[in-house]
Amino acid sequence: MPKAMVQVEGVYKSYWRDSLEIPVLRNISLEIPEGEFLTLMGPSGSGKTTLLNLLAGIDRASQGSVMVAGSDISNLDESALARWRHRNIGFVFQFYNLIPVLNAYENVELPLLLTKLNRAERKRQVELALTVVGLADRMKHYPNQLSGGQEQRVAIARALVTDPNVILADEPTGDLDKQSAEDILALLSQLNRDFKKTIIMVTHDPRAAEKAHVIRHLEKGELVNS
């Protein structure tokens, strides 16, 4: 039995709008084993992205505990959380979020600037990541010179380059045409299968969800089935 990569216990999350409390997640408990490919589905406003943000350590639970990659991230301060994210999390955004003034190589290299790797070591890592996503020949291209699918591949290479334990993807195919979406899903499957990465993906698309081992549904802030 693989050990748990993610353990969420009794998590509540609310936002406040003036004096009005808006509950987003209610009593979420979830365990995801290492090497899992899990999809979170649900209608808009169901709390999928909020849960993903909690797992990524970019948002905090109002109540409950979140353990990811062996760390209880609920109690880490901002600085420690930033270091933890850098070591453990690769995040893929729906709109790629590449830095427009950096080329593909430089975008992928960005997280490595926070490491002690020298230039040659960084180069090796970046080239490897871009080769894995099939963009070794596009290293010097800027985001505006790439298609949407290619941009998302660069974003995946950026998420992959630090060799994180978990890759979190927030609707990674939401802004792509059918073929590009298929390619991205195939790539994520490959990362899960060949590199044993734990992948948690938020999606609206049932066809995308089919690529995962496990599909969990969120409705009105609660996990409803598995």
Instruction: Using CB under 8 A, pick the residue from 5, 6, 56, 199 that binds another protein.
Output: 56
In the complex with another protein, the residue whose CB is nearer, 83 or 196, is 83
Of 153-172, binders to another protein (CB under 8 A) are 158
- Applying CB under 8 A, does 78 fall inside the site for another protein? yes
Query: Which part of the chain contacts another protein (CB under 8 A), choosing from 29-37, 109-117, 123-131, 176-184?
Result: 109-117
- Applying CB under 8 A, does 76 fall inside the site for another protein? no
Strand order in the sheet with 198-202: 89-92, 166-170, 198-202, 37-41, 214-219, 222-225
- Applying CB under 8 A, does 123 fall inside the site for another protein? no
Q: What angle do CA 72, 152, 135 make, to 5 degrees?
A: 115
Instruction: Using CB under 8 A, pick the residue from 38, 39, 46, 109 that binds another protein.
Output: 109
What token pair was written down for 161? 């380059």
What token pair was written down for 107? 């975008």
Residues in the site for another protein, rule: CB under 8 A? 53, 56, 58-59, 78-79, 82-83, 85-87, 89, 91, 93-95, 97, 99-102, 106, 109-111, 113-114, 158
